[in-house]
Structure 1
């Protein structure tokens, strides 16, 4: 092991991971606002530990002075999607970004590994601003479904336990599990529209309920206690009936009441 300052070496990668996570989470929020559905379910990220960097360098015969170019996943971002089609949509969005450069891609979904591993990998070059100026670092972005991620997490744990030498029986069972995960993704994709409609309906209902309850609290703030109590009773009744249309109408009525309260307070 060389005498480098590993904390200093890894710092730009830490910065890249944090910035990419923020940007991709912001992309998710924007897509949700524009389209009522985001192909990104959630985003995670990590920087390899020093021991993992050294182990991979040894396995790939990467000299100590070439770690920055020889190991492409020191910084890692993982994007989870609900559906396989979402993976390709997200990959397309990443390709068009101007704040990073795409180095190359690996489609392990169409061309999955013998082990059964499926995921979409994108190696990107990302510029971070350091105290010494701009530094371009490599990062790996993995895009996969929740089912793919569940399988990959189990496989990673087993490989760690068996030191990359899985018993044949375990390897075969993993392959069967990978196929089952893929079948699950296929089934979910076949009823994608029904799932999305249900999710949009649920979110719309949740938003209306939150708005109604928040507005009722605002009426209490304006000392319209009797009105607020009446609206609360009406809300309880509509909530029990699961009457979304009625809740929307109630929301409009409460908004009018708040408007009157504001005008009354100004006069």
Structure 2
């Protein structure tokens, strides 16, 4: 496919990402209006670049005709949370929504990857209204704490630098860093109430 054809294929994915970002950010706004702690800290989203899509298809031996069906993260969103407990609250809310269908869940928090990667992934089927009619788009939503996200961002950069072959000494350091991030999340959970109370007081001070 040429550039124009790829633009046509990816257009509904871009629409899905933008619509879901608005909806998920709206959840945070609703909590703030109620004066309650929002389990969503912030939301980001992107559509995979064409070169990344083709590279993944090549690595996984996926034909071009099957790309939209077999690559689940062409459209991706990340929901960042302050606490691990917030991840579970977000999951409960997403499971109750009726504007998309969850078709797969992968728990890398209780079952972290060997590298130390931790996050919760869900794949949803999201309906997009196009001028040609309804198109159902696969979207991967990753839910993680800020500590998990910091680690994953660094690990992703190193994977890119070393083309997936990270030296053993750096792998060891990454695994230790993952354990440290896990302990940080645990400690923050222990004083969650104090943190949330302090944030409410601080926000009221700013508003007054």
CA distance in 1, matches of 2:32, 2:103: 28
Q: Give the total of aligned pairs.
A: 207
Higher share in helix:
1
CA distance in 2, matches of 1:203, 1:7: 42
CA distance in 2, matches of 1:20, 1:35: 23
CA distance in 2, matches of 1:162, 1:16: 32
Higher share in strand:
2
* TM superposition shift of 1:204: 1.6
List structure 1 segments (4+ residues) > 4 angstroms apart after TM superposition: none
Once the two structures are superposed, what CA deviation does each residue of 1:173-226 show, in whole Å capped at 9, x if it has no partner?
10000000111111101000000000011112222x2xxxxxxxxxxxxxxxxx
2:114 is matched with which residue?
Answer: 114
CA distance in 2, matches of 1:102, 1:60: 23
* TM superposition shift of 1:31: 1.9
Unaligned runs of 5+ in 2: none
Any residues of structure 2 matched to 1:85-104 within 5 Å, and which? 85-104=85-104
CA RMSD of aligned residues (A): 1.0
Q: Answer yes or no: is 1:134 the counterpart of 2:126.
A: no
CA distance in 2, matches of 1:116, 1:96: 30
With a CA cutoff of 8 Å and minimum separation of 6, indicate the structure with the bigger relative contact order. 2
Larger radius of gyration: 1
Any residues of structure 2 matched to 1:8-87 within 5 Å, and which? 8-87=8-87
Instruction: Report SS of the residue matched to 2:99.
Output: coil
Once the two structures are superposed, what CA deviation does each residue of 1:100-145 show, in whole Å capped at 9, x if it has no partner?
0000100100000000000000000000000100100000000000
1:174 is matched with which residue?
Answer: 174
CA distance in 1, matches of 2:148, 2:200: 24
Unaligned runs of 5+ in 1: 210-267
TM-score calculated relative to the size of structure 2: 0.97
* TM superposition shift of 1:60: 1.2
2:200 is matched with which residue?
Answer: 200
CA distance in 2, matches of 1:91, 1:67: 27
